[in-house]
Amino acid sequence: MKRSSKSEGKKQAKARKAKKPSAVKSFFTGRAGITAYVWLYFMIFTVFILVFMWLFQYAFLANYYRSAKIRDINKAANKIIDAYDTDRESRTNKTVAYDNSLCIVITDEAGNVETLENNLGSFSQLSRDVTENYSLEIFQLKNELDDADENYITKVYKNPDFEVKGIYYCAKIYTDDAPKQAYLFIESTIEPIDSTVSIIREQLIYITVILFEMAFIVTMFISMRVSRPIVNITKTAKRFGEGDYEVEFDGKGYKEVDELSEVLNDAKNEIRKVSDLRKELIANISHDLRTPLTMVKAYAEMIRDLSGDNPVKRAEHVQVIIDEADRLSNLVNNLLELSKLESGNMELNIKEFSVNDKLKDCMTRYQLLIEQNGYDIQCELDDDRKVKADPDKIDQVIYNFINNAINYTGDNKVIRLRQIDLDNAVRIEVSDNGKGISKELLPKVFDRYYRGERVKRDVVGTGLGLSICKEILKCHDFAFGVRSEEGKGSTFWFEIPL
C-alpha cells in the first residue's frame, strides 16, 4: 500500500514536470512569470529606442540637414529681397553672403547680372556659370521657376569636379518700379556631413552595445525587484493554502503590493477566525450533544435496571429523559434556524402591528414564571406605535433577550422590558441586574456559539440565541446592541424604524 502511494507520488511529480512549459513557450502562452514579463517589456522598450535612434540616423538625418539648410537660405533670401530697393550698394548681399557662406547672384529679367557676391570660392558653380558658361545654369533655373508658378524653387545638385553637393535657390524679386522684375539666385554647398555621420554612427554602435548590455542587466535586476514582493506573497499564500495560519503576508515595496498584503492579512485573519470558530463550534456541539445523550442513556438504563417497577421514580427518570430530549431538539432546531438565516434563505413575513400589543403578548407568556419562580418582570410601555416587521421573528428576538435576562440575572430576579419612542424609531430594551458582561467579552456576545465562561448546565442555552437575534435583526436592517457593566447588569436593545 505504502509502496503504491509512493510510486503514485513520483508519477504525479513526473507528470507535473512534464506539464511544465518551457520559458519561451510560456511567453507565448501567456504563462510566464512577472519577472520575465517586466524584463521583456523593458527590453522591448530599449530595442525600440535603439531602432528609433538608428532610423533617425539613417533615414532622417540627411533630409533633416537639407531642410534646415533650405530654411536658412530662405531666411537669407527674404533679407536680400527686403533690402533690394533700398540697398543699392549691395551691402546686405555682402553681409548675407559672408554670414551664411553663400554665392548670391541677382539678374534682371533678361538675365543680365546685376550683383554677384561669391563666398564659396572656387566651389561655386553659380559664379563659374555666370563668368564662364554664359549663365546657362541661371537661365535653366529661371525657366524652371517660371514653369513652377511658385515664388521660389530649390534644387539639389552635385558638383562633378569636387564631389560636393549644393543647393540652388531661385526667387523672383518684384521691384518698386514695376513692371520691372529681378531674379535672385543663391547657391549654398551641402557640407559633406558624411564624416560627421560616420563618427556618430561609430559612436552609435558603441552606445547600442553598451546600452543593450546595460539594459539587459539593469532590467533583469529591476524586474526581479519589482516581482520579488509578489513572488514572496505567492509563496506565503501557498503556505497559507496548505493550512499554515501563522503566516504573515509582507508586501514591503509598493503601495499596491502593500495594500494587497494588507487585504490578504485581513482575509487570513478572517479565515483563521472562521476556522477557529468552526473548531470551537464542533467541540461545543459535540459536547452539548454528548451530555444529554449520556443522560438519556443513563436514565433509560436506570429505568430498565432499577426504577422500572417504581412508578414514582420511573416518572421522575422519564421526565429527565424528556427534558434532555427537549434540550437536544432545541439545539438542533437552533442550529438549523441559524444556518437558514445565515444562508439568506429566510423569508420575512412583514406585517404591521402595534408595539404595545406585542409587548403585552410577550408578558403573558412569562406570567407563569413570574408567579411560580418569583421573577419580577416589569413592562414599561410608551405611546403606542404601529410598526412594520415580521412579528414572529420579533417575538423570537424579544423572547431570547428576556430568556437570557432570566438566565443571567442571578438572585436579583428583576427584569425590565421597555418601550421607548424615539423620533423616527421605537426602541425595545430588555434589562437585568445580573452579573453583566465584561468589556472584553461584550463585542463577542452576538457571535455564533459564543457562551460566557463555562455556563452552568442548569442555565438553559445553546450559545446560538443571540446570533439568531443578530441575523433576524440584520435581515430587517434594524439597529441593535448591548450595554453592560460587570456586576450591575446588561441591557439588550433593538430599534424598529417607523
In the chain, what are the helix, strand and coil shares in percent, each to the nearest 5? 60, 15, 25
Largest pairwise CA distance in the chain: 154
Q: To the nearest whole angstrom, how small is the minimum distance from the Cβ of residue 453 to ligand ADP?
A: 7
Is the Cβ of residue 136 or residue 455 nearer to ligand ADP in the bound state? 455
Report CA-CA distances (Å) from 351 to 354, 388, 436: 10, 5, 34
Kindly state the helix (H) or strand (E) to which residue 403 belongs, with its residue range.
helix 391-408
Interface positions with ligand ADP (CB under 6 A): 404-405, 407-408, 432, 434, 437, 445, 450-452, 455, 461-467, 490
Is the Cβ of residue 106 or residue 437 nearer to ligand ADP in the bound state? 437
Is the Cβ of residue 391 or residue 452 nearer to ligand ADP in the bound state? 452
Q: To the nearest whole angstrom, how small is the minimum distance from the Cβ of residue 271 to ligand ADP?
A: 23
Is the Cβ of residue 166 or residue 461 nearer to ligand ADP in the bound state? 461
Calpha distance 269→85 (Å, rounded): 91
Whether the Cβ atoms of residue 86 and residue 107 lie closer than 8 Å to each other: no
Whether the Cβ atoms of residue 152 and residue 130 lie closer than 8 Å to each other: no
Helix, strand or coil, per DSSP, at residue 386: strand
Q: DSSP letters along 38-79, please?
A: HHHHHHHHHHHHHHHHHHIIIIIHHHHHHHHHHHHHHHHHHH
Q: To the nearest whole angstrom, how small is the minimum distance from the Cβ of residue 445 to ligand ADP?
A: 4
Q: To the nearest whole angstrom, how small is the minimum distance from the Cβ of residue 443 to ligand ADP?
A: 11
Helix, strand or coil, per DSSP, at residue 258: helix
Is the Cβ of residue 256 or residue 376 nearer to ligand ADP in the bound state? 376
Is the Cβ of residue 95 or residue 403 nearer to ligand ADP in the bound state? 403
Q: To the nearest whole angstrom, how small is the minimum distance from the Cβ of residue 473 to ligand ADP?
A: 13
Whether the Cβ atoms of residue 436 and residue 485 lie closer than 8 Å to each other: yes
Q: To the nearest whole angstrom, how small is the minimum distance from the Cβ of residue 280 to ligand ADP?
A: 13
Is the Cβ of residue 227 or residue 431 nearer to ligand ADP in the bound state? 431
The DSSP secondary-structure symbol of 453 reads S
Is the Cβ of residue 225 or residue 290 nearer to ligand ADP in the bound state? 290
Is the Cβ of residue 189 or residue 462 nearer to ligand ADP in the bound state? 462
Whether the Cβ atoms of residue 420 and residue 426 lie closer than 8 Å to each other: yes
Q: To the nearest whole angstrom, how small is the minimum distance from the Cβ of residue 272 to ligand ADP?
A: 22
Q: How would you label 132-155 residue by residue, b for 16+ Cβ within 10 Å and e otherwise?
A: eeebebbeebbeebeeeeeebbbe
Calpha distance 314→291 (Å, rounded): 21
Q: To the nearest whole angstrom, how small is the minimum distance from the Cβ of residue 357 to ligand ADP?
A: 25
Q: To the nearest whole angstrom, how small is the minimum distance from the Cβ of residue 391 to ligand ADP?
A: 21
Whether the Cβ atoms of residue 390 and residue 341 lie closer than 8 Å to each other: no
